[in-house]
Amino acid sequence: MSATCDYQAKDYKSDLKPIWCPGCGDFSVVQGIYRALAAIGRPPHEIAFVSGIGCSSRIPGYTTAYGFNSVHGRSLPIAQGIKLANPDLLVLAAGGDGDGFSIGGGHIAHLIRRNMDITYIVMDNQIYGLTKGQLSPTSQKGRVTCTSRYGSMEEPVNPLLYVLAYGAGFVAQASPTDLVGMAATIEEAIRYPGFAFVNVQSPCVTYGEEAQQIKGLKAISESLQSLGHNPADRLAAMDLAQQYGQKMHLGVFYRNPEPPPTYGDLVKERQTLLSKDALPKERILDLFIKK
């Protein structure tokens, strides 16, 4: 790992121009990520940024980090593989609510239980925007879309409660209504030693509902700090997380005050333990060859 240097937000901005719809909340999210990375100070070549598929999953390309716009819903397993292969990299994963909580929903639990040292940023716009406005896992019940002409009959997934229930050590929410706060939250998530989840309420200007646009979000937003919430209190975090969809609480819901070892730490420990009895590399094949 290199020593941290003085990096500025612009050092993480690539030459690729975002093609999101003008007014999209993701423009602010990428700015928040630039700022957070500048505050962390790791050079771009020591950062791997993995995404799935969707509007928001284009985000790695807009940074100067190594990027992988991967397969729908599979950003987390790929990010995990990268982290295991090269533990010194700072690994970020990102995507939308559909990518993370529908097709990729099954992966989150396993990264949480392994406590992979990865920061996962979900840009939650409650719709499938890239494919022109279908219901997504976080769409509100009753939502009318092209795939729910008479209104959605399903309860939305609550991303905050979902990850808290699986035992994530760091859970936060941010919004483009507060870029300074978003950058600070993402920075804190990256600094957390283990799996960190940041849900960003990022409005879709093309298919999103009026109430989910910036003005609507501002009206229901409230800082967790101003509420006097103690981020070490997991049950209080779960209680607040239940208001997802009605209130938009911003900041850290939960930060494990005593983070358990990461999967990477345990792997390293196991390797150290076993290495004394390990065969030299040139003799490993002998195990498979009958004499």
Partner 1 sequence: MAIQGIDFANLSLKDALDLAILVEDEAQERYEEFATQMDQHQTPHAAQFFRYMVKNEAKHGQELQARRVQRFGDAPRSVTRAMIFDIEAPDYDAARAFMSPRKAMEAALASEVKAHAFFVSALPALKDSEVRALFEELRDEEVEHQEMVQLELAKLPPDSGLSDEDFVDEPAAQ
Opening angle at CA 212, ends 76 and 10, nearest 5: 55
First and final CA of the chain: distance in angstroms? 43
Instruction: Work out whether 179 is an interface residue with partner 1 (CB under 8 A).
Output: yes
CA angle, residues 286, 290, 291, in degrees to nearest 5? 85
Q: Which positions from 69 through 128 interact with partner 1, judged by CB under 8 A?
A: none
Closer to partner 1 by CB, 39 or 109: give it.
Answer: 39
Give the residue with the Cβ less far from partner 1, 180 or 287: 180
In the shown chain, the binding pattern of residues 208 to 227 toward partner 1, with x for contact by CB under 8 A and - for none, equals: -----xx-------------
178, 221, 241, 263: which one binds partner 1 (CB under 8 A): 178
Cβ of 123: how many Cβ atoms within 10 Å?
31
Residue 39 in contact with partner 1, rule: CB under 8 A: yes
Lookup: tokens for 261 = 């070892």
Which of 132, 141, 191, 270 binds partner 1 (CB under 8 A)? It is 132
By CB atoms closer than 10 A (0-12, 13-18, 19+), residue 216 is middle
Q: Does 14 bind partner 1 (CB under 8 A)?
A: no
Among the candidate windows 46-54, 178-186, 228-236, 248-256, which touches partner 1 by CB under 8 A?
178-186
HSE-CB for 175 with a 13 A CA cutoff: 24
Residue 204 contacts partner 1 per CB under 8 A:
no
- How far from 283 is each of 273, 276, 278, 279, 288, CA to CA, in Å? 19, 14, 10, 6, 10
**Out of 4, 8, 226, 242, the residue judged to bind partner 1 by CB under 8 A:** 8
Residue 21 interacts with partner 1 (CB under 8 A): yes or no:
yes
Closest to partner 1 by CB, 9 or 71: 9
Closest to partner 1 by CB, 72 vs 110, is 72
9 near partner 1, rule: CB under 8 A: yes
Alpha carbon 268 to chain centroid, angstroms:
25
Q: How far is the CB of 131 from partner 1 (least distance, A)?
A: 9
Enumerate residues 6+ apart whose C-beta is below 8 A from 74: 52, 104, 107
Cα distance between residue 160 and residue 201, in whole Å: 12
Structure tokens at 192: 């957390």
Token pair of 218 as six digits: 């501002």
- The answer to whether 140 contacts partner 1 (rule: CB under 8 A) is no
- At its nearest, how many Å lie between partner 1 and the CB of residue 205? 7
Q: Does 5 bind partner 1 (CB under 8 A)?
A: no
Residues that bind partner 1 (CB under 8 A): 8-9, 17-19, 21-25, 27-28, 35, 38-39, 132-134, 144-147, 149, 176, 178-180, 183, 203, 205-207, 213-214
